[in-house]
Structure 1
């Protein structure tokens, strides 16, 4: 039976992760424990430190690949745990990680440091993401603290807002629209942030009046739900959407679609288009219609469909040049 205290000495310890490349891929890490393992790598190389298992939360089954992977710690992460083998001290178990305010960058020559020297991050640009905390800052992410926001993805998103997108000109007029920018204005400790090593971000912001849900890919693709329920989705690469069954879309307001490039629509079945108002189609180039069978154009509506055909309906054609009607032999 594990004893928390034996002969007046605690089995609990505090240390720094130095190796995360577990050859068995069990999520184990090598930890140099303060007061037990020498700070000198000459005395105890990193490769001689025992592998430590990581306790996972109860939401993870930790069985048959079900649950969450026990990964996420970095070289340089401070952790706390205990030895399940008591005084032998060869089977460390990690209970969790501990943040703080790093005072200096890693000393790669000494133990209790990241051997690669990458963490803690010492200056902007040393990280592939955008907005990680640096030396002399709290390890808590800037988005959670609402600090140095001009050095985070918030500024990057605001600078990249899609502006003055032109609408189609027609009976309802033209005009343009602009992407709604992020409503970020978090208050600590209400914004719950997950930030990955390469800069992927997830936010669950419970700041009163500024509640948001946000998922951000390091390339700039994101989806954000604003406090009023508005959703903004931006994709900086290609977008593929495949549905194996039906797709129903109901827009209770207006719909504007602007395509800067070409557009192709291919329907292998029938197509029905209906409008209860006017239909205005503007073409600034050539307009070609190819039909293998019959073309019917009816003004006033077909008899019996919406009542009798209107007697004052009109079919107007106003070309700037000729009208050619040719019957093929």
Structure 2
């Protein structure tokens, strides 16, 4: 082989289903094979081996799979057996601009029928992407064989459009599979997306004459480049841009005077790229979905927004190196000066891209999974900003590996806000410790916000800093509630109210003091509606025990009532003492002495009479229209005028008249009328 020179060939791939899975293909070679398939059918062509690059070992499963060729690929190679031409070896491929539309009935063309191609890899017709958390919807070209259609509702340039399939541009009626079988090899499918009028029904077809399609594409074209071609009125192609060339071409570099290069926009590429599913639709969809993304603020509101940066897609021929697969996967290595990028894109528009400034964009149109069998380390010098429109569900330390730590090392605040709903912290087993200089809970609704502690013991240790609760209005609604503290202070600048549904017991091991300092309001009031009020001191000793009710300060009080083991003592220094029993009676019982002492007069009265002792000691006893002074005066007068008969006639003045007169004088000293 090669001693007498190589026998070269140029051919077109017609079959790649190698039964040995070695990447071999069947190629129809120009000058060696006829295009008449009745003379040399595709199945009679010899299998051609594929030469791989030196970067592929091609042995023991090591290397790169040599499966890049497809039906219709133009290849170049030589015959290993020379002029026998039965052992072709392919060295490479070559591109070009087809002069005619592919005919699968003739050789040197893609030999697959539409029925065969619909089961082969092919880029999606369109991708519909949403902002509601649902994965992207992939609309395949094979949908043309189904009796259904699709209406775009996502955030893409096709939003509001509906797909219709037809056999050509003029006929948008939905085709049927029987129109594209082997008996109709020349049939073509046209996919068109029209904006359906809002008043039209779901099955109403568009009026093509008055409605420009949002998208128009031929499906399963006979020529892989047909979707990129422009034809004249006679159907002759006047321009073609392969996918790889199209994605690599947005500008071309021309020469000016002095051989200085000048970058100029390529007119056809500029127009076609705007409708291309990667360069056009992807970029537009990206801007629709990921712009104006809200950030969290410190006050429970949004605090600014951000958007994805422009992708910088502006390739210049020949610097963008593109690998594009038949199902629509893409790899770009763009060396365009000033626009250097790297992009790895899945056919569904999920992609990873590095921008000219080194920024990275990861966009997943479906679900994303990140898995690691060991530790994950992340170090960020800048800010970390996240916006999750759906719910959050995090599980940490499921294998009890040790303590969990969150440390905010800077001086900034940490704000957690819940716009609507509850914020729950659940500790099934363990303690919850909050260490802070000040601790404050603020209700958001006046007279409605509540603070509840259920089945808990609140303990304050001997840290030297007592617990302090400050609130405008605070309500406690609990089952069992116990507060154990070395010192406890409750302070309210507004109102404070405690409601207990059953019994309430307050135990104080030391002293207990209640102060009402305000000069406004109703003072202090304790009410028991249905039962007795008992104030009890179990220590009866005077000075240390007993019950004392006092008005005024302790040392200069106005009035005081003392009840202890020595008895009951009541004193008032500034005001009156009033005992009023309007309906009942007043009974005073003394086992020994009964003493009533005052520096002013004493006056006991009822409706019939009264007893009065004035400041000079005079006593007035009145009752039933008279008084003791008057009665005693009458008695004294009767004694002074009293006579009795004698044999000598009425007796004279009593012999003890002086004593009677003294008695009369004493009456005026003791009693008053």
Q: TM-score, normalised by structure 1?
A: 0.87
How many angstroms apart in 2 are the aligned matches of 1:93 and 1:233? 41
* Aligned residue in 2 for 1:26: 22
Q: Is the partner of 2:423 in helix, strand or coil?
A: coil
Question: Any residues of structure 2 matched to 1:105-116 within 5 Å, and which?
Answer: 105-116=101-112
- Residues 27 and 45, structure 2, Cα contact 8 Å, conserved in 1: yes
Q: Name which of structure 1's ranges 96-105 and 187-196 shifts more when overlaid on structure 2.
A: 96-105
2:432 to 295, 309, 320: 295
How many angstroms apart in 1 are the aligned matches of 2:373 and 2:407? 25
1:42 Cα deviation after fit? 1.0
Change (3 A) 1:46 1:286: same
How many angstroms apart in 1 are the aligned matches of 2:388 and 2:291? 14
How many angstroms apart in 2 are the aligned matches of 1:288 and 1:248? 29
2:89 to 87, 93, 98: 93
* Aligned residue in 1 for 2:414: 279
Q: Is the partner of 2:274 in helix, strand or coil?
A: helix
Change (3 A) 1:218 1:47: same
- Residues 218 and 227, structure 2, Cα contact 8 Å, conserved in 1: no
Change (3 A) 1:223 1:58: same
Unaligned stretches of 5+ residues in structure 2: 118-122, 124-187, 191-216, 230-236, 251-268, 457-479, 481-673
1:258 to 377, 381, 387: 387
Q: Is the partner of 1:236 in helix, strand or coil?
A: coil
* Aligned residue in 1 for 2:245: 141
How many angstroms apart in 2 are the aligned matches of 1:60 and 1:33? 26
Q: Is the partner of 1:141 in helix, strand or coil?
A: helix
1:316 to 415, 423, 440: 440
1:24 Cα deviation after fit? 0.9
* Aligned residue in 2 for 1:58: 54
Unaligned stretches of 5+ residues in structure 1: 301-313
Q: Is the partner of 2:296 in helix, strand or coil?
A: coil
1:191 to 310, 313, 320: 320
Determine whether 1:46 maps to 2:139. Answer: no
* Aligned residue in 2 for 1:325: 453
* Aligned residue in 2 for 1:311: none
Decide which structure has greater strand share: 2
Greater RCO (CA < 8 Å, at least 6 residues apart): 1
Q: TM-score, normalised by structure 2?
A: 0.44
* Aligned residue in 2 for 1:150: 274
- Residues 198 and 218, structure 1, Cα contact 8 Å, conserved in 2: yes
Change (3 A) 1:78 1:326: closer
1:117 Cα deviation after fit? 5.5
Q: Is the partner of 2:279 in helix, strand or coil?
A: helix
1:293 Cα deviation after fit? 2.1
1:281 Cα deviation after fit? 1.1
Question: What is the CA RMSD across the aligned residues, in angstroms?
Answer: 2.5
Determine whether 1:226 maps to 2:355. Answer: yes
Change (3 A) 1:50 1:315: same
Q: Is the partner of 1:13 in helix, strand or coil?
A: strand
Give CA deviations for 1:157-195 in whole Å, capped at 9, x if unaligned: 221121111111216961111111311101100000000
Determine whether 1:212 maps to 2:341. Answer: yes
1:289 Cα deviation after fit? 1.6
* Aligned residue in 1 for 2:33: 37
* Aligned residue in 2 for 1:202: 331
1:132 Cα deviation after fit? 6.8
Change (3 A) 1:194 1:127: farther
Q: Is the partner of 1:154 in helix, strand or coil?
A: coil
Change (3 A) 1:175 1:127: farther
How many angstroms apart in 2 are the aligned matches of 1:127 and 1:19? 17
Determine whether 1:245 maps to 2:374. Answer: yes
How many residue pairs match? The answer is: 311
